[in-house]
């Protein structure tokens, strides 16, 4: 008997109760995180243990993931770099530089809009939009 891991079920479970933002901001990930930390009073830090590695055309691509667990809640913020060396974590969103995943606790529309409005004030940010996770084709790429 052979057991097959269903990555679709895994991905669907991973994305339960999440919100996902796509951000166009052509700048280095550490600079973007620094600005977010300053502006929003958050503390995004790179987490090398959950870095995403994809192999395409016999090459490895590494997508950094920054993490910020919100104190006294079960909400965790993850910021993914969508590009590495000409490849994309989510190829269907090539125009996006970063993906911000809010996971672990319900996030109200009001809180999400405040985050979006704050990100838009950062110099260099060209677009911030919520992505419907059911529209993301390669969402298993975001599962760590």
Among 24-38, 50-64, 67-81, 104-118, the minimum mean pLDDT is found in 50-64
φ, ψ of residue 57 in degrees (nearest 5): 50, 45
pLDDT confidence of 141, banded at 50, 70, 90? confident
State the pLDDT at residue 5.
56
Give 27's DSSP letter.
S
Task: Show the domains of the chain with their CATH numbers.
Answer: 15-142 (3.30.310)
State the pLDDT at residue 14.
83
Cα–Cα distances in angstroms (integers) from residue 110 to residues 56, 77, 99, in the given order: 39, 16, 19
State the pLDDT at residue 78.
97
Q: Comparing 128 with 7, which gets the higher pLDDT?
A: 128
Q: Are 142 and 133 in contact (CB under 8 A)?
A: no
CA pair distance 124, 8, nearest whole angstrom:
35
The residues, any chain, with a CB within 8 Å of residue 126's CB and separated by 6 or more, are 24, 25, 26
SS3 string, 54-123, reads: EEECCEEEEECEEEEECCCCCCEEEEEECEECCEECCHHHCCCCEEEEEECCCCCHHHHHHHHHHHHCCC
Task: Return left, alpha or beta for 41; rule: phi > 0 is left, psi -120 to 50 is alpha, else beta.
Answer: left
Which two three-digit tokens encode residue 120?
């838009």
Q: Over pLDDT 90: what percentage of the chain?
A: 75
SS3 12: helix
pLDDT confidence of 7, banded at 50, 70, 90? low
Q: Comparing 66 with 136, which gets the higher pLDDT?
A: 66
pTM comes to 0.89
CA pair distance 1, 30, nearest whole angstrom:
47
- pLDDT one-digit tens code per residue, 63-91: 999 999 999 999 999 999 999 999 999 99
The mean pLDDT of the chain is: 91
């Amino acid at each position: 008997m052979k057991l097959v891991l269903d990555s679709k079920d895994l991905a669907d479970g991973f994305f339960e109760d999440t919100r996902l933002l796509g951000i166009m901001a052509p700048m280095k990930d550490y600079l973007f995180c620094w600005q977010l930390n300053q502006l929003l009073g958050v503390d995004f830090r790179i987490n090398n243990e959950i870095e995403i590695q994809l192999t395409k055309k016999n090459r490895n691509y590494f997508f950094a993931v920054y993490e910020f667990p919100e104190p006294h809640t079960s909400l965790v913020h993850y910021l993914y770099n969508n590009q590495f060396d000409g490849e994309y974590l989510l190829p269907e969103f090539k125009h996006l530089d970063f993906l911000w995943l809010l996971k672990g606790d319900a996030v109200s529309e009001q809180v999400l809009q405040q985050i979006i409005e704050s990100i838009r004030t950062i110099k260099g940010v060209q677009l911030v939009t919520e992505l419907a996770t059911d529209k993301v084709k390669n969402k298993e790429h975001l599962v760590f």
